[in-house]
């Protein structure tokens, strides 16, 4: 009798890591799915994120190499920021505030500045010093030898 793997029914080849992904989901731990170009990493991340967020309002998708401070944080609230001396943001539909599941696609393609944003979000669960209450972050990336990748900070 062969064991059926749920993820393998969606994208072929995820049998070996399915238990790790299921455990991370249960524990609310972040995961990084690394593999060759075109192997379904983004597909798995999207499907997992949308399945976990039943409301449809708590899933956020970011292309790591394109996301910037406004994409992640929202529009700067210049009026409040000038009063407090700290950058504050106006919430938008894409902003990370209120996110339950965060998918960061192609993390190794992010340059050093963007990697710094993601490092704070992943390690500190905060952005610009403000706590974020997401349940889980899923990051994807091609193998380290992929030509479009930057060297990632070891903490990532």
Burial of 88 (0-12, 13-18, 19+ CB in 10 A): middle
pLDDT, tens only, 58-81 = 999 999 999 998 899 988 887 766
Average pLDDT, the chain: 85
**Predicted pLDDT at 2:** 47
pTM of the model: 0.84
pLDDT, tens only, 35-59 = 888 888 899 888 888 888 877 789 9
User: Is residue 4's pLDDT more than 60?
Assistant: no
């Amino acid at each position: 009798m062969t064991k059926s793997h749920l993820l393998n029914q969606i994208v072929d080849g995820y049998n070996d890591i399915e238990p790790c992904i299921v455990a991370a989901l249960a524990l609310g731990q972040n995961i990084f799915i690394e593999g060759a170009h075109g192997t379904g990493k983004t597909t798995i991340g999207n499907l997992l994120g949308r399945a976990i967020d039943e409301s449809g309002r708590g899933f956020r998708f970011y292309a790591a190499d394109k996301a910037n401070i406004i994409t992640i944080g929202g529009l700067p609230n210049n009026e409040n920021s000038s009063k407090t001396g700290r950058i504050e943001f106006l919430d938008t539909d894409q902003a990370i505030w209120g996110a339950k599941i965060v998918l960061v696609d192609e993390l190794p393609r992010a340059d050093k500045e963007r990697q710094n944003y993601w490092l704070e979000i992943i390690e500190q669960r905060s952005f610009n010093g403000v706590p974020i209450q997401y349940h889980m972050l899923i990051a994807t990336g091609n193998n380290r030898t992929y030509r479009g990748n930057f060297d990632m900070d070891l903490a990532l």
